[in-house]
Amino acid sequence: MALIASSVLVLALPALAPATITEVGVLGETTPATVPSCPASCEVVSRTTGFQVKVGSARNLLSAPRTGTIVSWTINQGKPNATQIKFLESNEGGPAEAGIAVLAPQPKPNLTYKLVAQSPMVKLQPYFGETAQFPLEATIPIKKGYVVALTVPTWAPALALNFSGATSWRASRPRSGCRSTSAQSVQTVVGSTTQYYCLYQTARLTYSATEISTP
């Protein structure tokens, strides 16, 4: 009986890097502590889309560190009292609500961002005084370097105060509208581009997002 020799070809495939979970926008302890301002000295985010530029020496903390998918977002809110809520609802377009947006930096003009995706808006009042996380039913793809912004069509008690001038956030308001915080400037049309002219120092937006990287 003849014997037939056989050989097995083994292919060495490159190992895939494991997916990484990143809390975009989360820092450790800060000085002062990151505590939303309401009800004392109640200042809120109103009628704009914004993102944190830096907190002290930490920069670009809302930029995705790698390509992946946003699976949830989190907001830490103050607890405005009944009088503050009534005033804000009357002057800022209605009940508090917010969502997140994914922005792609554009080369020109300076400070221009394209809205590439956004989450549904969430009513915020049930979560006043709490840190609430909202899982996304439809997750949002994000590329490395894209920015996770907070979109607030009305108002949100999600602003921590009394930082130094080294802490700042940027909003989608026009150059002439940086002081007109009640004017509507929110960026909500996917595919649109907006210049984020207005820079606000000494304050921090209290939100973050959870990203799972693409292996």
| Strands 68-76 and 45-55, sheet pairing | unpaired
Count: domains in the chain:
1
Does the pLDDT at position 2 exceed 50?
Answer: no
Structural domain includes residue 203:
yes
Structural domain includes residue 150:
yes
Over residues 40-86, the pLDDT tens digits come to 889 999 999 999 999 999 999 999 999 999 999 999 999 999 999 99
In this structure, are residues 36 and 181 in contact, taking their beta carbons and an 8 Å threshold? no
Does the pLDDT at position 11 exceed 80?
Answer: no
Structural domain includes residue 77:
yes
Does the pLDDT at position 16 exceed 80?
Answer: no
Does the pLDDT at position 1 exceed 90?
Answer: no
State which residues form the domain around 159.
44-213
Mean pLDDT across 9-22: 66
In this structure, are residues 58 and 24 in contact, taking their beta carbons and an 8 Å threshold? no
Q: How far is CA 115 from CA 23, 64, 139, 177, 186, in A?
A: 21, 15, 16, 20, 11
Over residues 126-184, the pLDDT tens digits come to 999 999 999 999 999 999 999 999 999 999 999 999 999 999 999 999 888 898 887 89
In this structure, are residues 148 and 100 in contact, taking their beta carbons and an 8 Å threshold? yes
Which residues make Cβ contacts (< 8 Å) with residue 61, sequence separation at least 6? 24, 25, 26, 27, 52, 54, 55
Structural domain includes residue 181:
yes
pTM for this predicted structure: 0.89
Chain centroid to CA 131: 14
Mean pLDDT across 74-101: 97
Does the pLDDT at position 14 exceed 60?
Answer: no
Average pLDDT of every residue of the chain: 91
pLDDT of residue 4: 40
pLDDT of residue 207: 98
Structural domain includes residue 117:
yes
Query: H or E segment at 23?
Result: strand 21-24
pLDDT of residue 182: 79
pLDDT of residue 6: 42
Closest to 204 measured CA to CA, from 64, 73, 26 = 26
Task: Please state, as a whole number, how many other Cβ atoms lie within 10 Å of the Cβ of residue 2.
Answer: 3
pLDDT of residue 181: 80
Structural domain includes residue 168:
yes
Closest to 95 measured CA to CA, from 178, 16, 157 = 157
